[in-house]
Structure 1
């Protein structure tokens, strides 16, 4: 059974349509499989400088960019990363990002559709660990192993002649799983949390429910009831996975979405508050200021 639902973004928000979301295009994949791998090159969406690169946007799939040259400046959720040769950028579904309009992107781009990998792989690789940094800097040995694994994955992806489609897809899933485990190891090191237990299914289900419902539901008890857990069970699972309380996790997700809309759209503050679950504009402004130290208008002004 493959993972479902964990990557559903807030693109269903009426307000979020002002930040364009790009879906995974299976039609652009070899044989229509749920992944793509190929060079960033000088043209197309992963080239930088053209098309997507000039606009802040979301994606509803995973993108991993493996750089062979640099430096390149790439922004993910309000942080600009300077990426060099040998570095990796892992952009997760729903994150708002933008390409440099001047830097040249050289290397390999790997994309994967939510649901393509099995649930066990999703858990083992931390596919939706948004607390981990997008920028990864493998050491020399890790980079060599990743490069070799990526080359093998690309060969399997392009080889459509030796196996029936169903077997070809299965081989790709296994190859991609092995590859992602290598990348996830580097990601865990970057986050300095190798010793932290992996999130269990309780947290995974909670995180998915929050991603789907944070625009209307800010209640820990409501999520616990929806998922069939006691509040205490939910508190233990979320704290073990993130170090936060469930309420803190929900609030951070709401604040992130509010920041995205304030920075990247011209929507009035009241409409942004409504888009993240506040019927009253004053309550939204108070909530935002409590969590950020500035008013929504003040935050928007800082981004200008």
Structure 2
């Protein structure tokens, strides 16, 4: 792993060690602590890779995009590229992990994962995985190592890792997440397309009509699909994504509100402040101030 010296949300890129073979690195929490050093895990991070962790010992809290998860033995945490996350007391937990770029999972599997849930969960508690095939796939994945004396088998091992990782991720979609009542499969492929366009264009496209034109649907159809899948309109989903990114910048960054407004496609800081307050119920500056105050020692998991 490597990072910039920029304050706020710290971008973390994946720079695999020279001895890593293949497209997936299997490591452990102890291993990345040693590699990263004591200061690596103190501030909020935005990864350019995915991180899949299984807790085997200890407990800690981990925050992913303003949701705190209580981690305990048997739990699995999947932090996806682009999400902002904050380590808790990383020294208190142990377990294996996989680091990989999203491209390592083939396009068909990625499409199936995206289509499996309206909002892909980040956390699976041990009770949801007990006896589940996802656990078996994870056992097999973390068992595939690269002994120094078996480099001749590296291509086979690499291929096995890719297939086992893909199987584990797909099977996790079948496991019941902690907040199962909020997750269900999209009813139409068109809604999956809308989500993909929204993720890549939210900072410049703020209106439903932009996405409708891009996808070849009417605004009425997009709103209907959005409500069928989430209970929210397409415009509400667009606003939700913009506000999430604004919160990330306000809490984890130091940029003034005017700069954040510009980065999110607003031509005026005042308009952005009104937009944010209407949807978040608080002004951007007040949200930043509140977020800097001591947090609840018992957040929801």
**Alignment TM-score, normalising by the size of structure 2:** 0.81
Gaps (5+ residues) in structure 1? 1-15
1:204-241 CA distance string (max 9 Å, x none): 32222222211111011111212333333433433333
1:116 aligns with 2:104: yes
CA distance in structure 2 between the partners assigned to 1:59 and 1:90 by the alignment: 12
Distance 1:280 1:128, change over 3 A: farther
The number of equivalent residue pairs is: 285
Distance 1:63 1:174, change over 3 A: same
CA distance in structure 2 between the partners assigned to 1:141 and 1:220 by the alignment: 38
1:180 aligns with 2:174: no
SS at match of 1:186: coil
Contact 1:52 1:98 in 2 (8 A): no
**Alignment TM-score, normalising by the size of structure 1:** 0.80
SS at match of 2:26: strand
Contact 2:61 2:89 in 1 (8 A): no
Distance 1:97 1:172, change over 3 A: same
Runs ≥4 residues deviating over 6 A: 46-49
CA distance in structure 2 between the partners assigned to 1:79 and 1:46 by the alignment: 27
Contact 1:274 1:280 in 2 (8 A): yes
1:184-214 CA distance string (max 9 Å, x none): 22255642367x3346432232222222211
1:32 aligns with 2:46: no
Contact 2:63 2:87 in 1 (8 A): yes
Counterpart for residue 236 of structure 2: 248
Gaps (5+ residues) in structure 2? 1-5, 293-301
